[in-house]
Amino acid sequence: MKIVTCYKWVLDDADIRVNESTRELDLEKSKAQINDYDQIGLEVGVQLKAATGADLVGISCGVNCAVSSKDALARGMDAVYTLDHSDLAGADSAATSKTLAAMIKHLDTVDIVICSEGSSDEYAQQVGPRIAALLGFNCITYASRVQMQGDVLKVERKLDDGVEVIEVNTPVVISIAPDIGEAPIPGVKQILGAKKKPSTALTLEDIGISADTLKPQLVVSSVKAPVVSRKAQRMNPEGVDISVAASDLVKQLRVDGVL
């Protein structure tokens, strides 16, 4: 059995600052990392590998994503395949899905593809289902628990009114919900062991697609932080009696449409 886990190399949102005058994002000091949600997806792949003995492969496409290989390998991947291309800087879900699907086809027989439900930078929730459609695989989204039982994959999905349990045959694409668990931080042994594992940089020619495939259908013209304004109004200036202040507060809330 072969399991493929897709992950995205993104900027750490903890390092992103906002220019107060323009509301534009200041990315100068931001460092890249594996998307937080994909870290959880990688761990789900590790757990399935432990239960089944499957080969576990990580794949990623984007700009400068080849440097992510060491981290992905330290998180339990047996091998990693990356595809760097400058045109992927503006890739939307469609272009990303086509590229990842072509990379998966390049790996020959794949039984399970794991994606996170969304990425921390966009959270479009489209890549998993799109990959499944392109490959002709079964698809399950928002998985909160995944178990292999013989040749059948048992998946739980938390819904508003209960838990849905699905049994599905492979090949299948699974999108992992963020609350499925936590991703452990690799230890020194895992980090050192990653150096001995293979990582392969692929090209568009290797996976049989052209640069036209990377052209986005959705173009983001700008990204700006929202304007946050708070109404600060004192209801008891100069020591007004608390009962009067409370009455004035109720009146103001009614005027504002809160009550």
Tokens of 48: 């399935």
Do you know the residue count of the chain? Answer: 259
DSSP assignment, residue 195? T
pLDDT tens for residues 116-151?
988 877 778 889 999 999 999 999 999 999 998 888
Rounded to whole angstroms, the Cα distance separating 182 from 178 reads: 8
Phi-psi region of 35 (alpha: psi -120 to 50; beta: other; left: phi over 0): beta
pTM for this prediction: 0.81
Model confidence at 81: pLDDT above 90: yes
Average pLDDT over residues 28-45: 89
pLDDT tens readout for residues 10-35: 887 777 788 877 888 777 788 888 98
- In the structure, what pLDDT confidence band is assigned to residue 173 with cuts at 50, 70 and 90? very high
CB 116 within 8 A of CB 178: yes
| Between 259 and 61, residue with greater pLDDT | 61
User: Backbone phi, then psi, for 206, in 5-degree steps?
Assistant: -60, -40
pLDDT of residue 74: 95
Domain segments of the chain: what residues? 2-214, 229-259
DSSP H helical ranges for the chain:
36-52, 69-74, 93-106, 127-135, 188-194, 204-207, 242-255
Three-state DSSP state, 194: helix
pLDDT-derived band at 256 (thresholds 50, 70, 90) equals confident
pLDDT of residue 187: 93
Q: Are 134 and 105 in contact (CB under 8 A)?
A: no
Q: What is the DSSP letter of 180?
A: G
| pLDDT for 217 | 84
In the chain, pLDDT over 70 holds for what percent of residues?
A: 100
According to the CATH classification, is domain 2-214 in 3.90.180.10?
Answer: no
**Where does the pLDDT of residue 172 fall: very low under 50, low under 70, confident under 90, or very high at 90 and above?**
very high
